[in-house]
Amino acid sequence: MNKIGLLWANLFRSRARTLLTLVSLLVAFLLFILLRTIALVFAGDGFGQASVHRLVVAAKYSIIDSLPISALQQIQAVEGVDAVTHAEWFGGVYQDRANFFPKYPVDPKAYFGLHSELRIEPEQLQAFINTRTGAVAPKALAEKYGWRIGDKIPIQGDIYGKRDGSRDWQFDLVGLYTGLDERTPQIFLMHYDYFDEARDYGEGSTGWFIVRLQDGSRAAEVAQRIDQLFVNSSDPTRTTTEAEQARQFMQQMGDIGLMMNGILGAVFFTILLLTGNTMAQSLRERVPELAVLKTLGFTDAAVSALVLGEAMLLCLLGTALGTALALLVAAAIGPGIAQAIGAFEVRAGTVVAALALSLLLGLAVGAFPAWRARRLSIVDALRKA
Written as one string, the DSSP assignment of 250-280 is: HHTT--HHHHHHHHHHHHHHHHHHHHHHHHH
Beta bridge partners of 211: 55, 84
Percentage of the chain exceeding pLDDT 90: 32
Mean pLDDT of the chain: 82
Mean pLDDT of 185-209: 91
Residue predicted with more confidence, 212 or 180: 212
Q: What is the pLDDT of residue 333?
A: 73
- In the predicted structure, residue 189 carries a pLDDT above the cut 90: yes
pLDDT digits (tens, 9 = 90+) for 231-240: 888 889 998 8
Q: For residue 37, is pLDDT > 70?
A: yes
Q: What is the pLDDT of residues 285-323, one digit of tens each?
A: 676 666 667 777 777 787 777 878 888 888 889 889 999
pLDDT of residue 25: 87
Average pLDDT, stretch 112-119? 90
pLDDT band at 120 (very low <50, low <70, confident <90, very high): very high
pLDDT at 182 over 80: no
144 contact partners, CB below 8 Å, separation of at least 6: 339
Contact 72, 204 (CB under 8 A): no
Q: Of 188, 207, 208, which is closest to residue 339 (Cα–Cα)?
A: 188
- The number of beta carbons lying within 10 Å of the beta carbon of residue 99 is 12
Overall pTM > 0.85: no
**Domain parsing of the chain, residue ranges:** 3-46+255-384, 54-251
Mean pLDDT value across residues 63-83: 90
Answer whether 190's CB lies under 8 Å from 132's CB. no
Q: Is the pLDDT of residue 52 over 70?
A: no
Instruction: Over range 69-97, report the average pLDDT.
Output: 91
Model confidence band, residue 339 (pLDDT cutoffs 50, 70, 90): low
Q: Where does 230-255 have alpha helices with state H? A: 242-251
Per-residue pLDDT, averaged over 106-132, amounts to 93
Strand ranges in 50-193 using DSSP code E only, listed in sequence order: 54-59, 67-68, 81-87, 103-106, 119-120, 134-138, 152-156, 168-178, 188-191
Radius of gyration, alpha carbons of the chain = 29
Task: Name the nearest CA neighbour of 33 among 379, 355, 375, 370.
Answer: 355
Question: In the prediction, which pLDDT does 128 show?
Answer: 96
**Average pLDDT for 169-177:** 95
Backbone phi and psi for residue 54, each to the nearest 5 degrees, phi listed first: -130, 140
Q: What is the pLDDT of residue 45?
A: 52
Q: Are 329 and 91 in contact (CB under 8 A)?
A: no
Residue 271, pLDDT above cutoff 70: yes
329: how many CB neighbours lie within 10 A of its CB? 16
Cα 1 to its chain centre, rounded Å, is 46
Would you state the pLDDT for residue 49? 46
